[in-house]
């Protein structure tokens, strides 16, 4: 080939390469325009990873159903999953990535109140709707106009627990709570309600949420001889604390909150946990959802947070459809007009002016033969 011919050949190759890259970029742009991204926050590592993985499974089921029904605005819904590590710092890093790198238009998350509170300022500043599916701290109520949750505030749960214990004649109680946003919120709401009802708090103490040694606190509780112990703890502390209380021979009724619905607690404790009771927000599970979760997880291990994660995903998808676009302010405005019925969490979900559920429904579970069962009303 002549020198001139070689030059012409290289020019043709260069043109074809540029044309090919342009075509790929155009195709990539076209593909991305056919996808609407939403972010997911949850604890995928650490002591309550079981709850995060459980919620992720529920969200993936919701996404599949949404896409089979035509997607969102006629486009495919894509969920981008991030581990918030159940910490404020972890959630802040994760939500920053979701918003700034992945370009999500809304965020579903998270489980831990501290994590959701850590993410909230970033979501609010970027005008990105964030809906928590298992974060119950009262502090989340006033965390921003773009911040929602479909699970009720602990203002409801603490009051419900206080009323239940008083009704059962447990008038003298020791309170032991994790020193974090969730524990602090429940401690205050329970104590305020219990004392107003005429109950007596014999002792009140907190513990580092990372500890597994609660012998000192449990020994002090034993000396007070309460009717009940309101024990607010995450998975590992629940296991350790209830074992240590059992070893010390404490006979008081142990009463916990929604985090005790992690099935890992009772599978680890076995019959040691028998008799323990806790409050958990009610669900509206159906056989279809239960079966879908069993198939997705490969085991029968449905945690209530997953019901709310599933519905949170559907609520966001409906809001985007009502907004008619992915404009973030329009999505937020549509969220406030939510009237969601027929889900697997609450029978109906509407939001108040703070983005909280307008109503709440709790149940009490008791552990029998190593498994929690709902008490009949």
Q: What is the pLDDT of residues 254-267, one digit of tens each?
A: 999 999 999 999 99
Whether 24 is in a domain gets the answer: no
Query: Mean of the pLDDT values across residues 355-367?
Result: 94
Q: How confident is residue 376, by pLDDT bands cut at 50, 70 and 90?
A: confident
Helix (H, G, I), strand (E, B) or coil at 259: helix
Phi, psi (rounded to 5 degrees) for 171: -95, -15
Beta bridge partners of 108: 40, 131
The answer to whether 298 and 286 have CB atoms below 8 angstroms apart is no
Whether 311 is in a domain gets the answer: yes
Assess whether 249 and 367 both reside in one domain: yes
Assess whether 235 and 368 both reside in one domain: yes
The predicted structure's pLDDT at residue 10: 38
Whether 1 is in a domain gets the answer: no
Give the helix ranges, DSSP H, for the chain.
Answer: 3-33, 49-68, 88-100, 113-125, 154-167, 181-196, 215-224, 235-248, 263-269, 287-297, 304-323, 328-335
The answer to whether 338 and 351 have CB atoms below 8 angstroms apart is yes
Query: Mean of the pLDDT values across residues 109-123?
Result: 97
Assess whether 119 and 227 both reside in one domain: no
Assess whether 165 and 233 both reside in one domain: yes
Tell whether the model's pLDDT for residue 156 goes beyond 80: yes
Q: Which two tokens stand for residue 202?
A: 């014999």
151 alpha carbon, distance to own chain's centre: 8
Q: Which two tokens stand for residue 118?
A: 């850590």
**pLDDT one-digit tens code per residue, 35-81:** 999 999 999 999 899 999 999 999 999 999 999 999 999 999 999 99
Q: How many other C-beta atoms can be found within 10 angstroms of the C-beta atom of residue 228?
A: 23
Q: How confident is residue 20, by pLDDT bands cut at 50, 70 and 90?
A: very low
The predicted structure's pLDDT at residue 29: 34
Q: What CA–CA distances, in Å, run from 81 to 29, 91, 110?
A: 22, 12, 11
Assess whether 200 and 273 both reside in one domain: yes
Q: Length of the chain, please?
A: 377
Whether 27 is in a domain gets the answer: no
Whether 12 is in a domain gets the answer: no
Assess whether 71 and 137 both reside in one domain: yes
Say which CATH number the domain at 293 has. Answer: 3.40.50.2300
Window from 7-11, 77-81, 189-193 with minimum mean pLDDT: 7-11
Tell me the average pLDDT of the chain: 91
The predicted structure's pLDDT at residue 13: 34
The answer to whether 164 and 279 have CB atoms below 8 angstroms apart is yes
The answer to whether 241 and 352 have CB atoms below 8 angstroms apart is no
The predicted structure's pLDDT at residue 46: 93
The predicted structure's pLDDT at residue 17: 34
pTM exceeds 0.85: no
Assess whether 172 and 71 both reside in one domain: no
Query: Mean of the pLDDT values across residues 194-218?
Result: 97
Assess whether 258 and 222 both reside in one domain: yes
Structural domain containing residue 237: 155-283+363-374
Assess whether 307 and 272 both reside in one domain: no
Assess whether 194 and 114 both reside in one domain: no
Task: Find tokens 């028998």 and name the residue.
Answer: 274
Q: How many other C-beta atoms can be found within 10 angstroms of the C-beta atom of residue 221?
A: 25
Tell whether the model's pLDDT for residue 169 goes beyond 80: yes
Radius of gyration, CA atoms only, the chain: 24
Whether 187 is in a domain gets the answer: yes
Whether 60 is in a domain gets the answer: yes
**pLDDT one-digit tens code per residue, 131-145:** 999 999 999 999 999
The predicted structure's pLDDT at residue 377: 59
Assess whether 323 and 207 both reside in one domain: no
Tell whether the model's pLDDT for residue 194 goes beyond 60: yes
Q: Which two tokens stand for residue 228?
A: 């009940």
Percent of the chain residues topping a pLDDT of 90? 88
**pLDDT one-digit tens code per residue, 268-292:** 999 999 999 999 999 999 999 999 9
Whether 9 is in a domain gets the answer: no
- As for how many domains the chain has, the answer is 2
Assess whether 42 and 129 both reside in one domain: yes
Query: Mean of the pLDDT values across residues 198-224?
Result: 97
């Amino acid at each position: 080939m002549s020198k001139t011919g070689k030059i012409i050949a290289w020019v043709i190759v260069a043109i074809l390469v540029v044309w090919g890259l342009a075509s790929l970029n155009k195709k990539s742009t076209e593909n991305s325009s056919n996808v609407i991204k939403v972010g997911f926050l949850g604890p995928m590592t650490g002591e309550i990873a079981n709850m995060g993985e459980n919620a992720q499974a529920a969200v993936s089921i919701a996404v599949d159903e949404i896409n089979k029904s035509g997607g969102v605005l006629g486009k495919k819904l894509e969920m981008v999953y991030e581990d918030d590590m159940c910490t404020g710092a972890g959630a802040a890093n994760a939500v920053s990535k979701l918003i700034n790198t992945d370009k999500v238009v809304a965020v579903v998350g998270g489980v831990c109140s501290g994590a959701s509170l850590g993410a909230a300022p970033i979501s609010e500043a970027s005008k990105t709707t964030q809906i928590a599916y298992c974060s119950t701290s009262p502090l989340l109520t006033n965390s921003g106009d773009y911040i929602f949750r479909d699970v009720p505030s602990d203002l409801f749960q603490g009051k419900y627990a206080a009323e239940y214990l008083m009704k059962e004649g447990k008038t003298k109680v020791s309170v032991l709570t994790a020193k974090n946003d969730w524990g602090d919120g429940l401690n205050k709401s329970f104590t305020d309600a219990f004392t107003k009802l005429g109950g007596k708090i014999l002792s009140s103490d907190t513990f580092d949420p990372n500890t597994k040694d609660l012998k000192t606190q449990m020994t002090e509780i034993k000396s007070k001889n309460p009717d009940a112990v309101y024990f607010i703890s995450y998975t590992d502390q629940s296991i350790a604390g209830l074992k240590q209380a059992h070893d010390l021979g404490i006979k008081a009724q142990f009463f916990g909150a929604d985090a005790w619905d992690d099935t890992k607690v009772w599978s680890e404790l076995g019959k040691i946990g028998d008799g323990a009771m806790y409050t958990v927000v009610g669900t509206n599970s159906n056989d279809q959802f239960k079966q879908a979760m069993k198939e997705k997880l490969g085991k029968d291990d449905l945690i209530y947070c997953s019901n709310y994660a599933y519905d949170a995903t559907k609520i966001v998808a409906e809001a985007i459809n009502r907004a008619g676009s992915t404009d973030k302010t329009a999505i937020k405005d549509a969220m406030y007009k939510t009237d969601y019925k027929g889900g697997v969490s609450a029978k109906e979900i509407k939001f108040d002016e703070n983005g909280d559920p307008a109503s709440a429904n709790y149940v009490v579970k008791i552990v029998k033969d190593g498994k929690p069962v709902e008490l009949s009303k």
